[in-house]
Amino acid sequence: MPLPPQHGVKGVYYGGKWLDLEDCYGTFTGVEEECSGCASKSKSSCPRSRSANSPATWDGPKPKDSPKDDDSYHYDVCIVGAGCIGAAIARELSRYQLRVLWLEAADDVSQGATKGNSGIVHAGYDDTPGTNRAKYCWKGNQMFPQLDRELRFGYQTNGSLVLATKEEDRKELQELYERGQKNGVERLELLNQEQVRSMEPYVNKNVIAALYSPDAGNVIPYVSSAYAMQDAKGQNQAWKRPYSMTHSTQLYSTQRIHTTAGIYHCTG
């Protein structure tokens, strides 16, 4: 069985889909008539004018006060930690005219749980309905293709299969399916043995059924976080590492952020 294509070898994963380098000249150079291989096919999401290194831009209303460049200890917002969450927040905030202090206790981005995780971008069918995870997992999953078109970390929508090998497992597949419906997950399918085998010929012979989600994907979390950080950098963000926040105190309307490198003031 041929191995799946590898990101960066004769092509890239782009917006969740494989894009052969021979087909994608126009996508990355701006030559529209040669833009045959664009995975998105949508002009609005085509990143011809962007590069993986271009900063995020914000086309909404600007806040009234511009940041004051002369005071290196005063900030509007403080982000503590540079895992996938901190990096995503930093990138989002870089769209605004805010002065952001970004602290990381380790020596680089993605040195915590983000570095060690499995990189699965879940579809959202196993989260308990009503929880925040259930509320945001599917929505977040659906944002990844566009995020990848903007940042180009090589998102791959390979889909996921939850496999049943015993008759009693069917009940669990059904439960996951119903949970997925409650969580708003689209395109979920319950597959029989034959359908699973035709999709994955080398699957364990004991498999009798599966729950299939074509929208589950995977990333290299270190890379996606580093690219988000790179995109945010320089937009009035002070990136401090290895600086730990020890505690914070309130002084009138200002939060005082106590760190291993001194005290910062945060007014946001």
Ligand X SMILES: Cc1cc2nc3c(=O)[nH]c(=O)nc-3n(C[C@H](O)[C@H](O)[C@H](O)COP(=O)(O)OP(=O)(O)OC[C@H]3O[C@@H](n4cnc5c(N)ncnc54)[C@H](O)[C@@H]3O)c2cc1C
Catalytic positions are 122
Q: Which lies closer to ligand X via its Cβ, residue 84 or residue 196? A: 84
Q: Does 118 bind ligand X (CB under 6 A)?
A: yes
Name the residue with tokens 């074509």. Answer: 214
Residues 6+ apart with CB under 8 A from 215: 123, 141, 142, 157, 159, 185, 186, 187
Q: Which lies closer to ligand X via its Cβ, residue 190 or residue 220? A: 220
Q: Which lies closer to ligand X via its Cβ, residue 48 or residue 133? A: 133
Q: Footprint of ligand X on residues 85-104 (CB under 6 A)?
A: 85-86, 103-104
For ligand X, the binding residue among 12, 46, 79, 82 (CB under 6 A) is: 82
Q: Is the bond leading into 242 cis (omega within 30 degrees of zero)?
A: yes
Q: Among 115, 96, 61, 64, which Cα is nearest to 237's? A: 96
Q: Does 116 bind ligand X (CB under 6 A)?
A: yes
Residues 6+ apart with CB under 8 A from 69: none
* Minimum distance of ligand X from residue 244's CB (angstroms): 4
Q: Among 114, 115, 119, 209, which Cα is nearest to 158's? A: 119
Q: Are strands 245-251 and 11-14 parallel, antiparallel or unpaired?
A: unpaired
Q: Which lies closer to ligand X via its Cβ, residue 28 or residue 75? A: 75
Which of the stretches 13-21, 48-56, 110-118, 202-210 binds ligand X when contact is defined by CB under 6 A? 110-118
Which of the stretches 2-10, 18-26, 64-72, 78-86 binds ligand X when contact is defined by CB under 6 A? 78-86
